[in-house]
Amino acid sequence: MTQHQSTQTMKPATAAKKLGVYLEATPAEFREGVVSRAELNALQADPPQWLRDLRRDGPHPRPVVAAKLGVSISGLARAGLTEPLTTEQIEALKQERPEWLERERATQAEVRKEAARLKQRDRENAESAENGG
């Protein structure tokens, strides 16, 4: 009995997410097909011009926008930003430093600080348990 390994494929939306690009801005042939794991790896290893342009200029999906602004996706939603933004728009927001952006950055910094504190606490508890403590 021979086993045939099936080619793993994914929807374009999944591939776009893995590539960190906004699906609606990708070429039609990308949006209308399926993407194999090998094709995804090839796109990541040697991105075509359209992919390099999208990553550089946008429009960017919300997770990328949030990361570039240093806020959470929820923070974008609270600020009413639900649409993809271009790199130029993101840079303009960074320059303007609106009050909501400063507030959300501070919130994000607190979240990161708390996560680091909990990680440290868990590490100390694990070490204590290992040492019979």
Residue range 8-59, pLDDT digits in tens: 889 999 999 999 999 999 999 999 989 999 999 999 999 999 999 999 999 9
User: Would you say the pTM of this structure is higher than 0.85?
Assistant: no
Instruction: Please check the confidence at residue 4 and state whether its pLDDT lies above 70.
Output: no
Q: What is the mean pLDDT of the chain?
A: 91
Rounded-to-integer distance, Cα 102 and Cα 88, Å: 19
Nearest to 98 by CA among 76, 113, 82, 83: 76
Contact 77, 104 (CB under 8 A): no
**Banded model confidence at residue 5, pLDDT cuts 50, 70, 90:** low
Confidence of residue 132 (pLDDT cuts 50, 70, 90): confident
> Helix or strand or coil: residue 14?
helix
pLDDT bucket at 1, cuts 50 / 70 / 90: very low
Q: What is the mean pLDDT of residues 66-94?
A: 94
